[in-house]
A and B are shown apart, each in its own frame.
Chain A
Amino acid sequence: MPPRTSLKRRLTLWLVVIVAGLGTLLLIEAYTSARKAADRAMDGQLEAASLTIAESLQWPEGNPTLEMPASALQILATRWQERVFYWLQADNGTTITQNADLPITEAMRAEARQGPVYLDARYDGQPIRLSGREVDSAGWDTQEPVQLWVGHTRHGRDLLARELFRKSATRFAAMVLITAALVGIAMHTMLAPLRRLRQALRDRRAEENSPLMLDVPREMQELVETLNRLFADQRHHRDALLRFIADASHQLKTPLAGLQSTSELALTSHEPGVWHQALVTVHDSAGRTSRLAGQMLSLTRLQHLGPLHECQPLALDQLMREITVDWADRQDSRDHDLGLAIEAPAPVWVEGESWALRELLNNLIDNAFRYTPPGSEITLALRGDDAWVTLAIEDDGPGVDAESLDRLTRPFERGHRQDTHGSGLGLAIADSIAGRHGSRLEVSNRAPRGLRVCLTLPRCQPPEGGAG
């Protein structure tokens, strides 16, 4: 048995996988964008401080001088009280002033010459943010650009970024929870028809086979229809079975009742002649009943037999000839005219079970004898071409009503004929055998009168070495 899988668990797993994958990406994105946003906001402070310092830079008497503006440092420190750094150098390499030996490389200075730059660096074991710009200041004696770098620690930026990140993470978590809740509700709703179907099946009694009347989504409609077809098949099968049992009981009851009344009548008399007469009647009746039981057994056995297992090529025309000769010798055939007409290219080889086809032919012939008046002409015919042959039995008897034609192959069906001792099982047995050989018994009335029963079988190759 394969391991049981739960739809819910599978959906949950998928959700978790998607959320985890998507969530990781989203959180990484949120983290970097939070840092970027914090940097953008705080770089403005660097710029303001840098501009303020640049404004104070002067060149009296050819020497650069700077009265460091206190406000610039306060701006640089921000409300998070960062450590602040500044570094001013003339382009010729002389330091103007600095409060920290910042790690300014030649590449960074070259970049700052192009325009204001903002970059991350490390100083004193701490990550810091630096901003550099080149200031052109003209004096009377000197016109030398000055590299001005300011920086501060990242405490405030980290706090800001963390706060921004926390907000996005909270939003994401809320989204995940809402999604999970919605998926949970959706799963519950979507699995509801399945639960309804389960409940409906569970509530059914064993013998109940009416179709399911359920309001289910389109995707499940097929399943319900399939189930309903199954139930319908079961119902037909069961109906047939019940009808067979009822008919069989009825068929057995009539001769048994006859036996009882005959024997009771005989017991009231002391005449041995009456007894003898009663015994003869009992004997006849028992024989018929026994035959009936035999036929019922035969039919039941056919219907419960497995697939063909003794199948082999056999010469059908040969078989028909044998049986016709056999019947012609019997006493029953004295009143009828039994003929054989092989109108197909002989020998006719078909795949089949010898005993079954024999039974089929016997039943068909017996049937024809029973339901036709004496003197009727009965013909066993075999017609066909190279591929198919049709086996038929035709009589010139009374035929049957048009509406009874289809029902004739059912058990105990006699076509409203109560004047014979037939069991009504002959054609049913024949039909079962035809079914076993992949064919069907076709019953039709002949013109001007009479009945024709036939079945069509495929021809096969003669067996190796058996053709001669």
Chain B
Amino acid sequence: MTRQLHLGLGLMLSLCLGVGGSGTARGAERLIIEAALDRQIVEPVLAAFAAENPQIDLDYRDRSTLEVDRRARDPESPPDVVISSAMPWQLALSNDGMAQPLDAPEADQWPAWAKWRNEVFGFTFEPVVMAYRLELASHMPPPETHRDLLDLLTHYRQWLDGRVVSYSPRESGVGYTLFQQDARYTPRAWDLIAAMGAANVDFEATTQRMLEGLSDGRYWLGYNLLGSYAMVWAQSHPDIIVQVPNDYSLVMMRMAFVHRDAPHPAAARRFVSFLLSQRGQHILAGQTPLFSVRDDVVGPYTAQRLRDQVGDHLYPIPINATLLAFVDPLRRQAFLRRWDRELQILEPPEQ
């Protein structure tokens, strides 16, 4: 617990430092970015952009997905650029007319599957993974697929009881989206959820907290973590193993758009164009774990390289109008109701 607090403090400290760092570069033009994307992860990209555009005063505000959505809808002080991993909410913002089309060569050349209405662009390629502690492997075969996970939860429940963690669909837009997408691909996802319920699964609002719990030893197994964060974490925490599911792996994309009422539209367009440009994507692939979408970018973190490593069972969450169904309040309500029911359905009769 103390360690977690310490870590949180460090995060806050570095966040403040980051903000201070960009604050020194005073320029004529401001650029307000509301983002659900950790500042220290994306810092190399911001630094490169600031170096290329010294006249632009970057105001990067790191928030939760739901907060980003709320601020994007605030008519009083609209941001310039909105970045979020909550893909359905980003698409809903575009559908509500909050985004403006980006008229730039980078936008035109961007792959059609990774953009919507030429307004919202998925500019990262982050696989959704499982992560487990090394000691799990000494008690049971480590999971490689969703079926393995269900088998473990069924056959090793006594070991895993209270030691499984996943994204909270209630508190996190990303978590909700991932489970919705899981349930869309196969109804057996509900069996998995029921099994997790039976194993008294814990839910966290961020990947960061799940990773911390794993390192703490509170959790042995995490499901549906963002691969980008987990892979970085695993590099410095050798006791954590990251597993990209072998049957299918969802891929989440951060989505960025220029706000319709952006107070600094020129700078906003330049920033999003930079994110999509070869240079921006090159930094993304080389200095961040966010994975570049572009085929013509070389680096350790590219969609192409990921495909080469894990095979072609990567399933990017489709960027289209189907996502809008996820944010329908009635559907969300129905999903959560079923979610609650499924979690309870396998209550062990002996208890």
Which residue numbers of A lie inside 8 Å of B, CB to CB? Answer: 65-74, 76-77, 81, 83-84, 96-97, 99-100, 124, 126
B96 within 8 A of A: yes
For the complex, give the distance between the alpha carbons of A68 and B324 in Å: 9
The complex places the Cα of A68 from the Cα of B326 at a distance, in Å, of 8
Q: Chain A interface secondary structure, helix, strand, loop or mixed? A: mixed
- State in angstroms the CA–CA spacing of A69 and B330 once bound together: 11
Query: In the assembly, what is the distance between CA of A99 and CA of B321, in Å?
Result: 13
B321 to A84, Cβ gap below 8 A? yes
Residue of A nearest to B322 (CB): A70
Interface string of B325-351 (1 = CB under 8 A from A): 111111100110000000000000000
Could you tell me the distance in whole angstroms from the C-beta of A148 to the nearest C-beta in chain B? 13
In the complex, whether B251 has a CB less than 8 A from a CB of chain A is: no
Enumerate chain B residues within 8 angstroms of A84, measured Cβ to Cβ. 95, 321, 324
B322 touches A71 (CB 8 A): yes
Residue numbers in B under 8 Å from A76 (CB-CB): 321
Known: A81-B116, A84-B95. A99 touches B320 (CB 8 A): no
Of all chain B residues, the one with the shortest Cβ separation from A81 is B117
Chain A residues whose C-beta falls within 8 Å of the C-beta of B184 in the assembled complex: 70
A87 to chain B, nearest CB (A): 12
> What number of residue pairs across chains A and B have CB atoms under 8 A from each other?
59
Residues of A within 8 A of B330 (CB): 65-68, 96-97
**Chain B residues engaging chain A, CB cutoff 8 angstroms:** 92, 94-97, 116-117, 184, 320-331, 334-335
Supply 15 further A-B pairs (C-beta < 8 A) apart from A74-B320, A77-B320, A99-B95. A65-B330, A66-B330, A66-B331, A67-B331, A67-B335, A68-B325, A68-B328, A70-B324, A71-B322, A73-B324, A74-B322, A81-B117, A83-B94, A97-B328, A124-B97
Complex CA–CA separation, A99 to B88 (angstroms): 13
Query: A66-B330, A97-B330 in contact; A73/B96 too (CB < 8 A)?
Result: no
Chain B residues with CB below 8 A from A68, complex form: 324-325, 328, 330-331
Query: Are B334 and A65 in contact (CB-based, < 8 A)?
Result: yes
Do A69 and B320 touch across chains, with their CB atoms under 8 A apart?
Answer: no
CB-CB under 8 A from A72, the residues of chain B are 325
CB-defined A-B contacts under 8 Å, sample of 23: A65-B330, A66-B331, A68-B325, A68-B328, A68-B330, A68-B331, A70-B326, A73-B321, A73-B324, A74-B321, A76-B321, A77-B320, A77-B321, A81-B117, A83-B97, A84-B324, A96-B330, A97-B328, A99-B92, A99-B95, A99-B96, A99-B324, A99-B328
What is the bound-complex CA distance between A124 and B99, given in angstroms? 13
A residues less than 8 Å from B94 (CB atoms): 83
CA–CA, A74 to B327, complex, Å? 14
Measured CB to CB, the nearest residue on chain A to B327 is A99
Residues of the B chain whose Cβ atoms lie less than 8 Å from the Cβ of A67: 330-331, 334-335
CB within 8 A of B95: which of A66, A69, A74, A83?
A83
Q: Complex: how many Å from CA A440 to CA B201?
A: 140
* Chain A residues in 8 Å Cβ range of B327: 99
Tell which of A66, A67, A71, A96 has the most Cβ of chain B within 10 Å.
A67
Is B331 touching A73 in the complex (CB atoms < 8 A)?
A: no
Q: Which of B92, B321, B326, B330 has the most CB of A within 10 A?
A: B321
Q: Which A residues are CB-close (under 8 A) to B321? A: 70, 73-74, 76-77, 81, 84
Candidate in A69, A99, A126 with the most chain B CB atoms within 10 angstroms: A99
Most chain-A Cβ atoms within 10 A of its Cβ — which of B94, B324, B327? B324
A66 to B328 CA separation, bound complex (whole angstroms):
9
Nearest Cβ distance between residue A181 and chain B, in whole angstroms? 41
CB distance from A273 to the nearest CB of B (A): 134
Closest Cβ of chain A to B305, distance in Å, is 30
- In whole Å, how far is B347's beta carbon from the nearest beta carbon of chain A? 23
